[in-house]
Amino acid sequence: MQLAFQHALQQLAQPANKNALTQLSRGIEREGLRITSEGHLAQTGHPEALGSTLTHPYITTDYAENLLEFITPVAQSIEQTLAQLTDIHRYTYQHLGDELLWPLSMPCVVGAAKDIQIARYGSSHSGRMKTLYRRGLTYRYGGAMQIIAGVHYNFSLPAPLWQSLASLQQQQADTTFISAGYLGLIRNYKRVCWLIPYLFGASPALCQSFLKHTDGAIELEKHATGTMYRPFGTSLRMSDLGYTNKEQADLNISYNSINEYVAGLRSAISTPSKQFASIGVKVAGEYRQLNSNILQIENEFYSTIRPKRVTNDGETPTQALERGGIEYIEVRALDVNPFSAIGITAEQIRLLDMVLLYCVLQPSPDMSKAEQQQTERNFNRVVLDGRNPRLTLVQGDYERPLADWLEELFADFQAIAQVLDDAYGGQDYQQVIAEQYRAVLNPELTLSGQLMRILTEQNIDNGRLGMQLARQYREQLQQPMSYYSTEQFVQWAKQSWQQQQQRELHDQASSFDDYLDEYFRTASCASPECRDAWRPD
């Protein structure tokens, strides 16, 4: 396998691929919780000046009304992507009054359950469906999960790189080859994705008030007033306290082929769940959830990575994959970086680039259900105890020290860094390897280790640290915008409100019940004829 990796890397290192290597496409989705100046959940609605959360291209909400989500367009420059994300933060802060953005993944002080407000998207059928989906999540998993924030990283390779890799295997770089390549990336990513919470997990501690809204299944220790933590923890966000779904444990969604992946998801959105049936779907004339199946819709499937394609009108995500194959992948295991005003850094992006290229270049055999379950156990070990210097993981049939596996991975990342630096010019990627390797040698230099050191040395609780950082970043983000203009944001907001209004006027002529019936009829359909019958607003 190592020889195959070296051959693939040599192929990418060819002079003809230098320009293509600088055309890696990226996009970021950063979630951030709006809080009051006292550190409580903001109870205000989404600021009108930020536009419609249903239709704005760059500013929306995720699950809760106060959980903002910032989305950057696809770009090939890391600096451009970060400038775009920074300007979205800057414009947003101009319209938050005295509110702040919480700089951590796990939420601040959580009061009564009623304080967690489900996101609202207006009265159009699609807007009501988005809100109802979130109401279903609240009934299924509780409201606290709706206010956890993360960062998603979207990534794709340019066509010339796929062509180069296809030529190495004497194949054509068609849709089938590219989709198989992305699925290979995903399988390899699942084998090593534990290194993401190891290096970049940043939620080893949380406010005690959050635990009132969970089943408290994880053993935690008390650090300071109001703060609970896991001694060697890295990412409580990715643990059973955060984005997990026990009902999905036996789904066995396969990444060995698009057909298997689609079939697995399609089965989950059509298979009844006894647990969720007990909630009821429409009770006393009011919807509680979209349906009582294992998944209400495909997006409810929680995974550390997803294959994606931009959808056409009326398509579900899996129908888009069937139509055109995989276009990009979405990494979903990143905590908000508390040491960045915008939740992520250029250094993290470059490390992710190398990890994902490693996953593309390494041979990627099909993954059995048993192996997939083992990768999830490895991931959970690191989430809970990743900074334990004696921690071991399972690779194949053997337990091996996490530190030993990291050494092996970083040797391959170093080789990739040299190729990327040769393409871009400079030493940026190799500098990232040198910096992150320090965290390989010393787990306390990881993001979670740095966070716990501050809490311990300053003897402060999680909430106080979060407020200090939030106020610091608000001041930092008062600078003028560098990429976008105020006029652009004003126009986007105006257009988004107009689009929402048009949807709402259009939908007055039909019923919401009929809309849902037709949506789910076509969501379970793969044929173009069936999909063509679906005409959304």
**How many other CB atoms are found less than 10 A from the CB of residue 404?**
11
Element spanning 275, H or E: helix 274-277
Distance CA 72, CA 86 (A): 10
The DSSP code for 293 is B
460 domain residue, yes or no: no
Distance CA 422, CA 21 (A): 10
Q: Which conformational region is residue 426 in: left (phi greater than 0), alpha (psi within -120 to 50 degrees), or beta?
A: left
Element spanning 59, H or E: strand 59-61
Element spanning 335, H or E: strand 328-335
424 domain residue, yes or no: no
170 domain residue, yes or no: yes
Which residues are within 8 A (CB) of 171 and not within 5 positions of it... i.e. 6 or more apart? Answer: 177
The DSSP code for 41 is B
Q: Which residue has the tokens 């050494």?
A: 407
Show the DSSP H helices in 104-257 as ranges.
125-141, 159-168, 175-192, 195-200
Residue 7 pLDDT: 93
6 domain residue, yes or no: no
Phi then psi for 423, rounded to 5 degrees? -75, -45
Distance CA 62, CA 243 (A): 13
Three-state DSSP state, 348: helix
Longest dimension (CA), the chain: 67
Give the burial class of 272: count Cβ atoms within 10 A of its Cβ; 0-12 exposed, 13-18 middle, 19 or more buried: exposed
Residue 362 pLDDT: 97
Which residues in the chain come in under a pLDDT of 70?
1, 216, 242-249, 527-537
Residue 110 pLDDT: 85
* Cβ(368)–Cβ(214) below 8 Å: no
Structure tokens at 531: 């999909």
Q: Which residues pair with 109 in a beta bridge?
A: 40
Residue 537 pLDDT: 41
The DSSP code for 244 is -
Q: Tell me the CA distances in angstroms from 69 to 15, 54, 380, 452, 533, one per residue in order.
A: 39, 12, 26, 26, 32
DSSP code string of 487-501: HHHHHHHHHHHHHHH
167 domain residue, yes or no: yes
**How many other CB atoms are found less than 10 A from the CB of residue 524?**
13
Strand spans (E) along 193-274: 205-207, 221-222, 227-229
Phi then psi for 104, rounded to 5 degrees? -120, 160
Distance CA 520, CA 517 (A): 6
Q: Which of 241, 76, 259 is nearest to 142 (CA)?
A: 241
527 domain residue, yes or no: no
* Cβ(53)–Cβ(134) below 8 Å: no
* Cβ(406)–Cβ(195) below 8 Å: yes
Task: Supply the Cα-derived Rg of the chain in whole angstroms.
Answer: 23
Domain extent at residue 366:
24-388+465-504
Q: Which residues pair with 330 in a beta bridge?
A: 154, 306
Distance CA 338, CA 472 (A): 11
Residue 145 pLDDT: 80
11 domain residue, yes or no: no
Q: Which residue has the tokens 């990513």?
A: 189
Structure tokens at 391: 């921690």
Three-state DSSP state, 327: coil
Q: What is the mean pLDDT of the chain?
A: 93
Residue 527 pLDDT: 53
Domain count, the chain: 1
Question: What's the 3-state SS for 19-33?
Answer: HHHCCCEEEEEEEEE
473 domain residue, yes or no: yes
CATH code: domain of residue 223: 3.30.590.20
Distance CA 115, CA 64 (A): 10
Residue 530 pLDDT: 59
